[in-house]
């Protein structure tokens, strides 16, 4: 009997223990999740400092680091949860979107664990994983809700209608918000990862530099975004001031950029909530860790009948727990992959 013939007869468990494996970018992350929401272990080994020397993620370095870190992260997770491999009911792994070589490390590793234990292999979309982080943040959370997806590769307002049914209400037409943070960091001479460093600097500055305000409506799409104009405006401002020999207040640039980049996310999430009659807003993706975004959202829901779910910062940026949480949902549906599962650089949300 082949591996997959055996898996076809697998009985889905009521309260499964799932290992979530994430290697799509520069974090090697392995978590163990019980029943979709309870974290038993959550290990993250980051190669960010390796990339900092180059000003951004170097895919080959990311892949190489995953190959050495993945075993350590897995052993540590099992030890913390006080479990052995045989206690794991399924292996959920990010198969995309992300850096292909990096993804392949996690996918191959998860396949070997699934094959050797005879347990299901659950393919997980990285984006859906980010959204599922909110189920860990609020154990009682159930769809429907609006989520702001704000990461290094994506910026969208999404209506999560059901655990498996999503509608993208709007997205960026060009750069992602995290990408804009990273590029602005570079022009300000800040090291990788750009987002947290821009935030740190912005905390010392003021929103006094005139930057383009986001239009309310792009190409008729109320919930679409555009970040490339804002990014270019910051770059032009810095270069123009420098060529005039003027001293730049970098903290003010960081703060003004942060306000322009974030205010529109908050505004549109609230607009979507009102327009479509939702009462819950969640945040996901690395930019969700931004303190200004978090406090601006808290302020904007005050006095309104809107529940706000802000996952811990650790669960906004890439982690294995979110892959375990989404893996649980896919497991319940019996969405199991065979050993020919491939990694994919791009994965549709739906």
Site for Zn ion contains 319 (CB under 5 A) = no
- Partner from Zn ion, ligand KG4, none contacting 224, C-beta within 5 to 8 A by type: none
Half-sphere exposure of 260 (CA within 13 A, CB side): 27
CB of 217 to Zn ion, least distance (A): 28
Indicate the residue whose CB is closest to Zn ion. 318
- Partner from Zn ion, ligand KG4, none contacting 36, C-beta within 5 to 8 A by type: none
CB of 4 to Zn ion, least distance (A): 29
Residue ranges in contact with ligand KG4 by CB under 6 A: 25, 151-153, 178-179, 181-182, 193-196, 199, 285-287, 289-290, 317-318
Shorter beta-carbon distance to Zn ion: residue 103 or 157 = 103
Tokens of 179: 């990408």
CB of 77 to ligand KG4, least distance (A): 19
Place of tokens 């050495």: 68
The C-alpha atoms of residue 106 and residue 103 are separated, in whole angstroms, by: 5
Q: How many residues does the chain have?
A: 350
- DSSP lists the bridge partners of residue 38 as 34
* DSSP characters over 4-66: HHHHHTPPPPSS-EEEEEE-SSSEEEEEEEETTTEEEEEEEEE-HHHHHTTTS--HHHHHHHH
Shorter beta-carbon distance to ligand KG4: residue 42 or 182 = 182
Shorter beta-carbon distance to ligand KG4: residue 159 or 287 = 287
Mention every residue, 6+ apart, whose C-beta is less than 8 A from residue 111: 121, 339, 341
Shorter beta-carbon distance to Zn ion: residue 151 or 156 = 151
- Partner from Zn ion, ligand KG4, none contacting 194, C-beta within 5 to 8 A by type: ligand KG4
Shorter beta-carbon distance to ligand KG4: residue 199 or 224 = 199
Cα Rg of the chain (Å, integer): 21
CB of 189 to Zn ion, least distance (A): 25
Site for Zn ion contains 224 (CB under 5 A) = no
Site for Zn ion contains 94 (CB under 5 A) = no
- DSSP lists the bridge partners of residue 30 as 21, 43
Residue 156, phi then psi, degrees to nearest 5:
-150, 155
Shorter beta-carbon distance to ligand KG4: residue 256 or 336 = 256
Instruction: Evaluate whether 128 touches 168 at the Cβ level (below 8 Å).
Output: no
The CA-CA-CA angle for residues 181, 186, 192, to 5°, reads: 75
CB of 178 to Zn ion, least distance (A): 9
CB of 149 to ligand KG4, least distance (A): 9
Site for Zn ion contains 151 (CB under 5 A) = yes
Shorter beta-carbon distance to ligand KG4: residue 29 or 113 = 29
The C-alpha atoms of residue 65 and residue 28 are separated, in whole angstroms, by: 8
CB of 293 to Zn ion, least distance (A): 16
The C-alpha atoms of residue 46 and residue 264 are separated, in whole angstroms, by: 30
- Partner from Zn ion, ligand KG4, none contacting 96, C-beta within 5 to 8 A by type: none
Identify which of 120, 137, 138, 131 has the alpha carbon closest to the alpha carbon of residue 154.
Answer: 131
The C-alpha atoms of residue 181 and residue 196 are separated, in whole angstroms, by: 9
CB of 153 to ligand KG4, least distance (A): 5
Find the part of the chain contacting Zn ion (CB under 5 A) among 4-12, 81-89, 144-152, 250-258: 144-152
The C-alpha atoms of residue 17 and residue 34 are separated, in whole angstroms, by: 4
Site for Zn ion contains 318 (CB under 5 A) = yes
Query: For binding to Zn ion (CB under 5 A), which residues are involved?
Result: 151, 318
């Amino acid at each position: 009997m082949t591996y997959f013939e055996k898996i076809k007869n697998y009985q889905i468990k009521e309260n499964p223990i799932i290992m979530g494996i994430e290697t799509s970018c520069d974090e090697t992350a392995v978590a163990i999740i019980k029943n979709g929401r309870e974290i038993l272990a959550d290990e993250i080994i980051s190669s960010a400092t390796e990339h900092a020397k180059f000003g951004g993620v170097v895919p080959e370095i990311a892949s190489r680091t995953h190959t050495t870190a993945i075993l350590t992260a897995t052993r540590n997770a099992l030890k913390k949860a006080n479990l052995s491999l045989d206690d794991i009911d399924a292996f959920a792994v990010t198969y995309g979107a992300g850096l292909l070589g990096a993804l392949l490390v996690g996918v191959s590793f998860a396949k070997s664990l699934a094959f050797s234990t005879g347990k299901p292999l659950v393919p997980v979309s990285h984006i859906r994983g980010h959204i599922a982080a909110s189920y860990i943040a609020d154990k009682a959370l159930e769809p429907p809700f609006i989520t702001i997806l704000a990461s290094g590769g994506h910026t969208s307002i999404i209506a999560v209608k059901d655990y498996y049914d999503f509608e993208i209400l709007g997205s960026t037409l060009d750069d992602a918000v995290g990408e804009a943070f990273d590029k602005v960091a570079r022009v300000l001479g800040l090291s990788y990862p750009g987002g947290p460093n821009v935030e740190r600097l912005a905390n010392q500055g003021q929103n006094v530099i005139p930057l383009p305000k986001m239009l309310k409506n792009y190409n008729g799409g109320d919930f679409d975004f555009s970040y490339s104009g804002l990014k270019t405006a910051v770059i032009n401002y810095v270069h123009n001031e420098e060529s005039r020999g003027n001293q730049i207040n970098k903290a003010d640039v960081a703060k003004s950029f942060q306000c322009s980049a974030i205010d529109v996310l908050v505004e549109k999430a609230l607009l979507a909530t009102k327009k479509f009659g939702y009462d819950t807003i969640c945040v996901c993706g690395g930019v969700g860790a931004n303190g200004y975004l978090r406090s601006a959202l808290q302020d904007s829901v005050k006095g309104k009948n809107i529940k706000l779910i802000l996952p811990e910062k650790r669960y906004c940026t890439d982690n294995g727990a979110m892959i375990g949480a989404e893996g649980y949902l896919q497991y319940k549906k019996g969405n199991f992959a065979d050993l020919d599962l491939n990694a994919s650089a791009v994965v549709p949300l739906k």
